[in-house]
Structure 1
Amino acid sequence: MVSKPALRTGGYIFKFFFRETKMNISISKKGISALLASVLLTLAAPVTTLANVKNPGLLVHAADDEATTLDPAQVEPGEGGETIILQVYDRLLDIDPYSPNLVPSLATEVPTIANGGISSNGLTYTFKLRQGVSFHDGTAFTADDVKFSWDRAMEMDLPEGNAGALSDVVASTEVVDDFTFKVTLSEPVADFLNSVVVAMVSSVVSQDAVEANGGVEAGSPNEFMAGNMVGTGPYKFLVWNRNENIQLEVNDNYWGENAKLNVRVEIGGDPDVRVLGLRAGEFDTVETDPSFVADLEGADGVTIYTGGLLLEPLHIGFNLNIPEGSLPDGDTIPEDFFHDPRIRQAFNHAFDYEAFLNGPLAGYGAFNPHYTPIGIFGHDESAPVYAKQNYAEAERLFKEAGVWDEGFSVSVITEEGNLFALMCLVLKDSIEKLNPKFRINVLAVAEAVFDDAHAQNPLEYAMWAKNADPAADPNFYMQAYQHPDGEWGEVHGFANGYKDAGKVAELIDAAAVELDTGKRAALYKELNEILYNDPMWLIGAQEGVVMAHRDWLKGFVQNPLWPRPSLKFALFDK
C-alpha cells in the first residue's frame, strides 16, 4: 500500500486514505510484482529519452472505474462509459480543446441567428451536415442517422440514461435532405447548443448497425449497443474485456485529422495501482485527484497538470423533506430542522473552507457561488460566496434559530475513502468546535450503500455529500440543484424552505429561455444573491483539475467541459 502523507492546515490534520477492498483490476499478482520492480528501476533511471518511451504507438490510460454501458442512449452523465463514447462517436458540434467555444463537428457550422441556423423566435435549429463521412462499419453518414439517433434515445427513454436532455426540449426532428437536419424546440432554450447538442446522449450512431442488431424498443436497452460501438469518430471500438480493459484503434478513414495512437483504457480504480503504474511508465495517463499529488510530485518522468477547475462542485445537501421517524438512531433534530434558512446559513458560515482547500484538495480548487461554477456562462466574480469560516455569524444565527443552548446531533451520509468523506470530516470538526453541544455523525459507507441511500425519494437522511454532475451551462445547475420543482428541489422539498419559492422558480425559468446574453446574465446575478441568503447546499469547494501523465506524452490538453476525465485521446502523441 502506498502511504498517503498527512497534511496539516488550519489546525487540522488530514490523512489521505483509501479503503482496502478486493478490486477487479487488469493487473495480475504477477503483474503487480513486475510493476513494483519496474518502479524501482524507474526511480533509479536517468531522465526519460525518446529511446525508452514505453508502449510506442499506444496510449495507456488508467481509469478509476469501469463503464456500465457504451450506448449513448443508455449512459448516465458522469459515468465511465462517457469517456469511451467521447472518443468513438461524434456529435453535431463539439467543444474547442482550449476554450468553452463551440466548434463544428458533424455539422459544418455552429448555427446562429446571423447565419440562418437559428430562427428569429429561437425555436428552430438547422444543421448543415458534413459530406463524405463514413461510419466505422463502412456505411455512409447522412441526416437520417442524426434523426434516428436522437429519436432512438427519446423512444428508449431509459431511466439510467439522459434522454430527458432531448425529450424535455425537442418537439420534433426533421430530415430536410441528406445533409440538412432540422430540430424544432417546444420553447426557446438558451443552452440548447451548449448543453444538449454536445451531450453524449446526442452522439450519432449508425442506423444500419442498430437495426441489424436488435433495433429500437421503448423502455428497453439494446444489448448489442451496450457492449459495441459503431460511430464516425477518430477511434474505432475493438474490444471490451470486462474488468480488464477497453481497446480502441485509430480510424484511418476519419473525416478530420487522424489520431496518432491506439488506445487501451485499463480498468481498475485502485489509486495505488494507478500511482505505481504511472511512475513505472506502464500508464501514460491516470485519472487523478489532489490526493495523488504527494505521491507523484517530483517523480521522474511524471508531469502533474493543474490547469483550471472541474465543473463538479463538491457539496453537502440539506434535506427539507425528511419522512417522519426515518432519521438514523442518535439524530436529535426535528424533521423540519433545515426548513429554517438561518440554520442553513449557519452551517455555511461555520464550515472551514480553507482547511478543506489546503488539506484534502492540496490547494487545488476555488469557491463558487450558489449555483454557478467558475468557468461557465453566468459566473459572476462579484457574486456573494461562502469562502471563509465565520464563527461569529454562525453562532449568531444558531442562537437566533433557538438551537444554540440545547444543541443537536445530525448525521451526514457519504461514500467512504474519498474527498466527499473528508469534506464531511471538515464539517464535523467545524461544527463541533463551534459548540460542544453540536454533534455531526459522519456515516461513511461503501459506494453501493451510498448509491442506494442517495436514490431514495424521499431521502431518509438529513444531509449527504457528493459532487454535482458537470455541465456547460448554468441552466443545468439551477434546474437540478436549485429549482423548487427540479430534480433535487422535489426530493429535498425546497419549497418547504425557500423564503419565496415562486420567485426562485420564476427567475430560473426565465433565464432558461432568455436568448439575450446580457439579460440572461442579469437573471443569474439576481439568483446568486437570493441563493446566497437562502442556501440549499453547502458547497465545500470547486475542485481543481489535477491530471498526471508521463513526460513523453505530447499535445496534452484537458477541457473540463468534456466528460471526465476531460481528455480527447486523439489529440495526443508520444
Structure 2
Amino acid sequence: MASLRHLSIITVAAATLLATSCATENGAKNSAPPTAAAPSSGSPVAGGTLRLVGSGDVDHLDPTSIYYVVTIGIMRGYSRQLFALQGVAAGADTTKGYEVLPDIATELPTEANGGLSADKLTYTIKLRDGVQWDTQPPRQVTASDFVRGFKRICNPVAGSGAPGYYTSTIKGMAEYCDAYIKAFEKAKPTAKALADFQNGHDIAGVQAKDDKTVVFTLTQPAGDFLNILSLNFASAAPQEYDQYVPDDATFRQHVISNGPYKITSYVATKSIKLEKNPAWKQESDPIRHQYVNAIEVKMGVAEPDAVQQQLEAGSADLSWDLPVPTAQIPRLKSNDPNFTIYPGAVTNPYVVFNLQSKNAGGAMGKLKVRQAIEYAINKTAIAKIYGGADVATALHTVIPPGNIGYQEYNPYPTPNDQGDPAKCKQMLSEAGYPDGLTLIGAFRNAGNHPANFQSYSADLKKCGITVKGLPLRQGDYYTYLQTPSHAKNSEWDLSAPGWIPDWYGNNGRAVMQPLFQTNCNAGTSNYGCYSNPKVDDLIKQALAETDQAKAAALWHQADQTVLGDAVMVPLNNQNTPLYKNKRVQNALYLPSYQIYDVTNLWLNPNTP
C-alpha cells in the first residue's frame, strides 16, 4: 500500500516467512518478538470514540490509489474487497494473518465449488447478500461496481501504485491500461472524460455475469490471484464516482462507504472522523465489527515523544503515523503490557535514486555514482535511530529475509555495515566527480525521517557529496514520490521511503514488480522510473514459473540485477514496535500493514 501501500511481522522463524508491499513508517525484522502483550479477554464493549493522533495527512482517500499503510488502516472501515486478511492477537501464530478469507465474496473459489476452472484461468466469484453502499437509499454492491473499480486502477490521475499486479494477470488489462494512458497524454482528464473512457471501454478479463457474479479470466495461472484481489486497488466503486476526478479534493468530500464506518469529516492536514455506517449489516461482514461509535484522527503532532505522552496519559488511544520513540523502547519493553514488538520481513528504510534527474550533470544516471553511495551509507547508524538490534538490522538485498527469492549476499560490503568513505571517494573520482557533487534529498519532516536524512547526508558528506534537504509533509510524501513529473523535473535526487510486501505467502511479485518493473506513470511505486528489460523479463519468467523453487531462483536473479544496477540502497529490515492505551481491547495485529485492526477492537472504559 506507497509503498506507499508505502511502505508504517511475524512470530515464526525466517524460514517459514514468505512475505505485503506497502509504503511504511515503521518496520520489521524476522525474529521472535522480544515482547508480546497478552490478548484481550472478556466480552466486547460497545461505544466510545477511538482516538488516533499523529503527524501527517493521508496519501489518498480513494481506495484505488491508497498505498500508505496508515491510510489503509482507516480505509478498512469504509471500503471492502472480495477477499480480505484478518488480524491476530499478540503472541498468536501470525501466519493466520496471511490467510485470505472471503469478504464480499461468499466463498473461496475452488474447482469443487465451480469458482475455479480446471485450467485455473477463470475465477467465478459470487457476491454476498446485504453488502450495501451508504447511499440514499442504501444500494446493494453489485458485480458491475467491481468492474468499474477495476477500470479505475490505471486511471492517469491517481491510479494504483501497483498496476502490474493486474496487467500481468488479467486478460486484456494491459491493453486497456495502455489505451487509457495514451488517451490522456494530451487530453485534459476531467471527471466526464475519464468516466466516458471507462464506460466506453471494456477489460476482456473482468466481466459482470449478473448483479451477483463477477468473472475474471487470466492470461496464465496465478497462485497469488486471491491475494491480488484482496488489495484495496481491487475495491468496488459506486456509480457516483464517475462524477469526480479520482481522489481530488471534491472526491475526498464524497467518499461512499460499504464498510462498518463512513467518513463524516475530512479536513486536509488536520483531521478525519469516521462514524458508524447505518447501511452496514453485521451479518453481511464476516471480517469486521462496529464496536466503537467513531474513529477520530488528529494530525499535526510531529514528535513521537508527544504522541507517546498522550497514549500513556490516556488522551489518545493509538498512534496514527509515528513510531514509538526510540529512547522509550527499553523502558516499555521491560514492564509495560501495552507495548509489543512484532517481528517482520520488510525493507525499511531504503534509499531510492531518481534516474530521471539532470542535477549535477545527470549524476543519478551514472552507475559509479550510485555505487559510490551504496558504499558510503552507515546502515548500523540508521538501525540505531529505530532502536538498535531489537528493532532493526542491516539489510543487503532487495528482497528482505522471509520473502520468496531471498538469498543472503552483499554486493557492497563495508566494515560492520558502517560505510566506507574511502571506497565512495574512489568511485566518485572514477565517475568524473573528484571534487564531489551536490544532490537533493527528499524526506518526511516527521518521526525518525529527519534523523535518517541527517545520518545518510553526513555519511555522504564524508566522501564529498553534499545533500540539500527537501522536507515534505508526512501525508504528502508518497504522493510526491508517486508523481513522475517531480522526478522528471529534477526536483529530487534521492530519498528514503520504506516498503512492506503487499502480502505474505506466495508473494514473489510483491517486491520486485511494483518497485522495479518498468512503470513511470502516475501512482507508480517505481519512484525513480527505473527500467531494465532484463529485470522486466525475469519478472515475467518468475510469474510464469509454477515450480516455486525455480521461481525463487528467478526472483533472486532479478534482485541481483537490480543491485548490480545500484538503483536502491537497502538499509534495514525492521521489527514493528506498537503501543496502545490500556483501554484498547482486542487489538488484533495486521501483519501485512503493521497496524492494529480498528474494525475489531473495543474500548473499556468506553468514555470519552
Short-chain TM bin: 0.7 to 0.9
- Output the amino acid matched with 1:410: T
Partner of 1:568: 598
1:478 Cα offset (Å): 1.8
Partner of 1:511: 542
- Output the amino acid matched with 1:429: A
Partner of 1:420: 449
Count of aligned residue pairs for this structure pair: 493
Question: Which of 475, 482, 494 is the equivalent residue of 2:509?
Answer: 475
Question: Which of 455, 464, 468 is the equivalent residue of 2:494?
Answer: 464
Partner of 1:275: 308
1:221 Cα offset (Å): 6.0
- Output the amino acid matched with 1:427: Y
Partner of 2:82: 92
- Asked if residue 65 in structure 1 is aligned to residue 56 in structure 2, the reply is yes
- Output the amino acid matched with 2:339: I
Deviations 1:96-143 (A, max 9, x none): 323322122111333356765344554322223333544555746464
- Output the amino acid matched with 1:569: T
Partner of 2:182: none
Q: Does 393-402 or 59-68 show the bigger shift? A: 393-402
The structure-2 alpha-carbon separation of the partners of 1:449 and 1:532, relative to structure 1 and needing over 3 Å to count, comes to closer
- Mapped to 1, the partners of 2:249 and 2:427 lie a distance apart of 57
Question: Which of 543, 560, 569 is the equivalent residue of 1:538?
Answer: 569
- Mapped to 2, the partners of 1:450 and 1:231 lie a distance apart of 24
Deviations 1:63-122 (A, max 9, x none): 43334754424x432176533321122211112323322122111333356765344554
Secondary structure of the 1:535 match is coil
Larger Rg: 1
1:278 Cα offset (Å): 1.2
Partner of 2:357: 322
1:525 Cα offset (Å): 1.9
Contact 2:115–2:123 under 8 Å retained in 1: yes
Partner of 2:366: 339
Question: Which of 105, 108, 113 is the equivalent residue of 2:106?
Answer: 108
- Asked if residue 294 in structure 1 is aligned to residue 327 in structure 2, the reply is yes
- Asked if residue 410 in structure 1 is aligned to residue 438 in structure 2, the reply is yes
1:459 Cα offset (Å): 4.6
Contact 2:385–2:451 under 8 Å retained in 1: no
- Asked if residue 236 in structure 1 is aligned to residue 261 in structure 2, the reply is yes
Higher relative contact order (CA 8 A, sep 6+): 2
Partner of 2:236: 204
- Asked if residue 304 in structure 1 is aligned to residue 331 in structure 2, the reply is no
Partner of 2:146: 147
Partner of 1:266: 297
- Mapped to 2, the partners of 1:480 and 1:163 lie a distance apart of 7
Contact 1:107–1:129 under 8 Å retained in 2: yes
User: TM-score, length-normalised on structure 2?
Assistant: 0.69
Partner of 1:247: 274
Secondary structure of the 1:309 match is coil
- Mapped to 1, the partners of 2:374 and 2:603 lie a distance apart of 45
Partner of 1:18: none
- Mapped to 2, the partners of 1:200 and 1:392 lie a distance apart of 39
Partner of 1:76: 66
1:458 Cα offset (Å): 1.7
- Mapped to 2, the partners of 1:244 and 1:253 lie a distance apart of 27
- Mapped to 2, the partners of 1:361 and 1:302 lie a distance apart of 19
Secondary structure of the 2:362 match is coil
The structure-2 alpha-carbon separation of the partners of 1:127 and 1:459, relative to structure 1 and needing over 3 Å to count, comes to same
1:267 Cα offset (Å): 2.1
Secondary structure of the 2:53 match is strand
1:246 Cα offset (Å): 0.4
The structure-2 alpha-carbon separation of the partners of 1:244 and 1:427, relative to structure 1 and needing over 3 Å to count, comes to closer
- Mapped to 2, the partners of 1:528 and 1:187 lie a distance apart of 23
- Asked if residue 528 in structure 1 is aligned to residue 559 in structure 2, the reply is yes
Deviations 1:324-366 (A, max 9, x none): xxx3xxxxx54256523x4433422332111110134554223
- Output the amino acid matched with 2:566: P
The structure-2 alpha-carbon separation of the partners of 1:418 and 1:276, relative to structure 1 and needing over 3 Å to count, comes to closer
Contact 1:118–1:124 under 8 Å retained in 2: yes
1:60 Cα offset (Å): 2.1
The structure-2 alpha-carbon separation of the partners of 1:215 and 1:525, relative to structure 1 and needing over 3 Å to count, comes to closer
- Output the amino acid matched with 1:89: S
CA RMSD of aligned residues (A): 4.0
- Mapped to 2, the partners of 1:481 and 1:163 lie a distance apart of 9
- Mapped to 2, the partners of 1:100 and 1:367 lie a distance apart of 25
Contact 1:356–1:426 under 8 Å retained in 2: yes
Secondary structure of the 1:183 match is strand
- Output the amino acid matched with 1:227: Q
